[in-house]
Structure 1
Amino acid sequence: MSLNSTWAIANRSTQIQRLSPASLAYLGDAVYELYIRSFYLLPPKRSHAYHDMVVAQVRAESQAKALRSLEPHLTSTELEILRRGRNAATGRPKRLDPEIYQQATSLETLMGYLYLTDPQRLNQLLSYLELNPLPQVKDS
């Protein structure tokens, strides 16, 4: 590895550390939804069936539940990222309990952070999720 490569990696790491939790959550929301969409892609369904299944999993209540199931597997660094995400969660929708919103935002923050810093770890944590195939959604 050259000196320039080492500097570039260190610089990227520093830049990632400077990202706000809101920025990480913004990215993490997309990463998590893409994972859920991929999980439910097979067997093939109609678009509205995909939508219903995915929305059920990416809503804040489901994300909070997923976070609780992952917490025993998290490192101290990952727990710190969760704390930063929780503390940055503001402006929640009126229908949500603030704690649920904070947990969902924390999960999204962690997903965004790991996507940028350690994709292997992200995949490992996502594999711990206990996503069961949802009941068949009518394809009419």
Structure 2
Amino acid sequence: MKFKQYQFLRDRAVAILKEQETHEGTRTVEAAEDSLMLAYMGDALYSLYVRERVIATGIAKVQVLHTIVTEFICAKSQAKALPVLETLFTEEEHEVARRARNGHVNVPKSATVQEYRASTAFEAVLGYLYYEGRRDRLQSLMAKAFSVTLENLHF
């Protein structure tokens, strides 16, 4: 993305946020239906979930906490959890995951294309459940993903 386009989009986003200040609690249908936006929200939700669990260990060294959290929320770990979770998905969750997996994403060097697409699918399902207000289901899937990752941790 060119810098001028970045500036334009950033300024537009800030203007929209200011406008939304007067319409608290609103969200656009487009954002809730866009796979990458769902994944963006799902990433934040899972990161918060993992951080809460790790903080609950009582360890107060941020470097240690960060290392552990990073292991849980990386694309590789999420990709390993997805096949287990998919056995639990409803039809609509499978559809959300499929759309997200097939979406156009820029893959970072830290993951393979397959891992990144799988992690995007996982995160999109979490975002979908959040926007649908299905908090119990969301917590259940995050807990399962956490357990799967915990079983496979190798330091």
Dislocated runs of 4+, deviation >6 Å: none
Preserved CA contact (<8 Å) 1:16 1:116 = no
The offset of 1:126, in angstroms, is 2.0
Structure 1 equivalent of residue 63 of structure 2: 48
- Are 1:88 and 2:106 counterparts? no
Q: Deviations over 1:31-74 (max 9, x none)?
A: 01011111111222211111000001111000101112211111
The offset of 1:95, in angstroms, is 3.9
In 2, Cα distance between equivalents of 1:98 and 1:63: 13
Match of 1:31 among 27, 42, 45: 45
> Within 5 Å, which residues of 2 pair with 1:35-114?
35-45=49-59, 46-114=61-129
Structure 2 equivalent of residue 132 of structure 1: 150
Partner secondary structure for residue 94 of structure 1: coil
Partner secondary structure for residue 141 of structure 2: helix
Preserved CA contact (<8 Å) 2:47 2:73 = yes
In 1, Cα distance between equivalents of 2:66 and 2:32: 34
Mean alpha-carbon deviation: is it higher for 93-102 or for 55-64?
93-102
Q: Deviations over 1:91-137 (max 9, x none)?
A: 101342111110001011111111111111111222323153898x9
- Are 1:121 and 2:142 counterparts? no
> What are structure 2's unaligned runs of at least 5 residues?
1-26
Preserved CA contact (<8 Å) 2:32 2:128 = no
Root mean square deviation, CA, Å: 2.5
> What are structure 1's unaligned runs of at least 5 residues?
1-11
Give the total of aligned pairs: 125
Partner secondary structure for residue 132 of structure 1: helix
Preserved CA contact (<8 Å) 1:22 1:88 = yes
Preserved CA contact (<8 Å) 1:25 1:112 = yes
Q: Which has the higher contact order (CA 8 A, sep 6+)?
A: 1
Identity of aligned residues (%): 34
